[in-house]
A and B are shown apart, each in its own frame.
Chain A
Amino acid sequence: MRGAQIAALADAPDGVAEALAAVDGFDDALVHGLARLDEEREAALAALAGAVGATPLGGAAADAAAKVTAGSVAEDALAALAGGRAAVLGAVHDALLASADEALGRERAAWDADAATGDAHANLLGGCRAWLTELAVTGWRGVDHDLVSGADRTVEAVLAEPALRRLGVLLDGLAGELRASCPVGTLERLPVRRWADLWTRAVLLAARGPWSAAAARAVSGRLLPLGVDVHEHPTAVGVEVHAILEESGGSSRLVRTSLLAPKTDTIVGPAVWRLLAGFPVLLGALAERRGLVVTDLPLTPGGDLIWDDERAAAGDPADPFVTARVGLAAALAPPVPPLDRHPVRISEPVLLEGYRVKDGRFELDGQSLAVETDRLPAAGPLTEALVKASSVCIGLLRSDAGGWSVRPLAVRATVRKAPVEAHNGDWALGPTDPKVQKAEAKAGDSVAVLRERAGRLLRA
C-alpha cells in the first residue's frame, strides 16, 4: 500500500454512518431486552425495519417490529429482525469492501452462485432458537448463570454434529463470554455491537439448517501462501491461510483455506498447532515458507479452498514477501457469499513497505493506518516489539466500527542491526525460537496430557 491508497480510505462511504446508527438502535434494545421496550427503543426497531424497507425483507421486518412492540416476541419475528440487521450490515460491508478495492486497485469477481440451506436437525435448531429468544427477551443486562447454563446441553449436542459446526463454535463462544461476564447487569461496559452480531448470526444459522456452500469446482495449480490469520476462543482455534492460486490454465486469484479445531481453554500458544497435526502438508509449507502444488482441490465460489492434504504436495520455497510484491496486484479477488457479508469478514491481504511505526500506527507518505498489535497470535513469533521495529509487513486490511486497520501476518524488521523476519505460520511444526522451545518443553505437551486423560477416563 502507498500513502495515497491509505488516504483514499479516509472518507467513509456515503450512508455508512446512518446504517450503523440503525444497527446501534437495535443493539441497544437487545441490551435491555425486547420484553420491555420504551418509546425510544420501539422507534429504534421501527428504524431498523425502515432501513430495509425498500428490500424484499422490508415487509417482514416491519411486521416483526410491530409485533415485538406489541409485546409478542416470537421466533419468526426475531428471525426477521435479525435478517434486517444482517442486511444493513451487509450493505455496510459492501460499501467498505468496494472502497478498499478501489483504493487498492483490486479487481473482484462478481457473485453469481446460488446458496442453499438444508432442512435438517430440526430439534437441535429448535433448542438453539429457544435459547436465543430467551436471550433477546431478557436482554444482556438480565443474563445470569441460570440463563447461560440453560444452553449447555444444546450447545454440546450442536458441537457433536459436524454439519452444524459453524453454529456450534459460534454459540459456544457467545455462551463462554456471557458466562465469564455474569452477572452481566453489574458490568460497566458491554460489548454491545459484538454480542448483537453473534446473536444475529446465530439466529440466522439456526433458522433452518446448515448453509450448504454453493457448488465448488475442482482446481489444480500452484498455491503460494501470503500469511496465516489465527482465530481463537476458549474452545476453538482456527487458521485461515491467505494465498494466491495460480491455476494451471494461467489465471491467478486470491484464495483462503481454513482449518478449525475444537480445543480446551488450557491449550494456548504454539501448542494449538498440535491440534492440526493431521494436516502435515499444509503446516509444513507454512513452517518452511514453501508453495504447494494442489490437484483437484474444491474451490467455492466465495474463494475458499476446501483443504485436503491428500490433494496437495509441498512445492518449491516461496517467499511470501515476493508473492505479495509480485502477485497481489494481478490476482483476482473472490466475491463474498451474500450471507457472509459483514464488515468483520473484510480481511484483504496487503503489503506495506517503507513505513515508520508511531503511536500504534504505520506512517507512510504523510498518511497513517492503525496497526492491530493487540492481535498478534501467541501461536506465532510476531510480537509488538517486532512490529514496532519492522519496515515491511504483509497484513490484512480490516475494518471495525467504521475505522480501518492492518493486522500483521508477517514482518521484516531490524533488531540489533540484524535483519529479522517473522511469519504467523513459522511455528506450525513447533516453535523455532529456542526460548519458546524451552518454555514449551518445561510446560509439557498439554494436548498429549489431556488426550491421555481422555483415553483413560472417557473410555473407562
Chain B
Amino acid sequence: MVDRSWERRSAVRVVPPARARKLAKVPFVELADGRLQGVVSSGSDVARVYVSSVAAATHAFSCSTNNNRPCGGLGAGYLCKHLQALVKEAVLQYGLERVARYLKADVGEGDDLVDRLDGVKEQAPAAAVFSRFLRHLGYLELPVTAGPVPEAHWFPAGAS
C-alpha cells in the first residue's frame, strides 16, 4: 500500500546515504547515464587511473586509462581486476540490491554480482566519466559557508 502520509511530509529522505567504504583503490563510483561507472587507481602508478564501466541491461563493459589507452587486463568475455574492484566497491557503497536493480542483473541471495555480468567488451566514453570524477572532486575545493542555510532543514541527517 502506498503511504500517503509519507507523500505529505517535507523532510523525508529520498536517497539513502552511501555506506562508508575505503576510497583508496576505487575513489569514485556512480550509477549514472545507464551505467555503473567509476575510476580505479592504478596499482603501480599513482598518477594513472583507470575508467571502468558496466552498462545496465546489456552488461557490456569497458576499461581504459583516463588517456584512453585500453586496459591490458581486459579480455573479450571477462572482467579485469579494475572492473571487479569497481563492482565490489559499488556493492559496498550502494548495497547489492540497488546496484543489481540498476544494472538489471538477476542476483539471488548470496550470489556474487560479478558472476552475473556476462556482457561483452564495448567502447565506452572514458573522457566523460573522468570529467565527472573531476567534477566530483571539485566539491572538496569549494569553501565552507558560515551563516544560515535554511534550505538545509529539508535535508536532515539520518538513515531514512
Chain A interface (Cβ < 8 Å from any Cβ of B): 20, 24, 145, 149, 156, 159-160, 162, 165-166, 169-170, 173, 176-177, 179-181, 188-194, 197-198, 201, 205, 213, 229-238, 240, 256-266, 268-269, 271, 275-276, 278-279, 300, 302, 304, 306-308, 340, 342-345, 347, 372, 374-379, 400-401, 407, 439, 442-444, 446-447, 449-451, 453-454, 456-458, 460
B145 touches A162 (CB 8 A): yes
A458 touches B12 (CB 8 A): no
With A232-B155, A259-B144, A374-B159: A400-B139 Cβ-Cβ less than 8 Å: no
Closest to A278 in B: B144
Summarize B's interface: helix, strand, loop or mixed: loop
CA A347 to CA B20, docked complex, whole Å: 29
Q: List 19 A-B contacts (CB under 8 A).
A: A145-B33, A160-B142, A169-B151, A170-B154, A173-B151, A173-B155, A177-B14, A189-B2, A197-B10, A231-B149, A256-B148, A266-B18, A268-B18, A279-B146, A342-B150, A343-B10, A376-B157, A446-B23, A449-B24
B8 touches A192 (CB 8 A): yes
B144 touches A191 (CB 8 A): no
Q: Is B43 an interface residue (CB 8 A)?
A: no
How many residues does chain B have at the interface if contact means C-beta atoms less than 8 Å apart?
Answer: 59
A260 touches B149 (CB 8 A): yes
CA A176 to CA B23, docked complex, whole Å: 21
With A191-B14, A258-B147, A260-B144: A443-B22 Cβ-Cβ less than 8 Å: yes
Chain B interface (Cβ < 8 Å from any Cβ of A): 2-3, 5-12, 14-15, 17-24, 27-29, 32-34, 41, 46-47, 49, 93, 133-160
With A194-B9, A231-B153: A307-B146 Cβ-Cβ less than 8 Å: yes
Across-interface contacts of B140 in A (CB, < 8 A)? 262-264, 275, 447, 450-451, 454
CA A224 to CA B23, docked complex, whole Å: 37
Give, as a whole number of angstroms, the nearest-CB distance from A160 to chain B: 7
Give, as a whole number of angstroms, the nearest-CB distance from B69 to chain A: 16
B27 touches A306 (CB 8 A): no
Give, as a whole number of angstroms, the nearest-CB distance from A248 to chain B: 22
**Shortest beta-carbon contacts, A-B, top 10:** A377-B157, A231-B152, A375-B158, A230-B157, A454-B137, A262-B142, A238-B152, A304-B148, A232-B157, A177-B14
CA A427 to CA B134, docked complex, whole Å: 30
CA A347 to CA B152, docked complex, whole Å: 12
Identify A194's interface contact among B11, B46, B147, B149, CB under 8 A.
Answer: B11
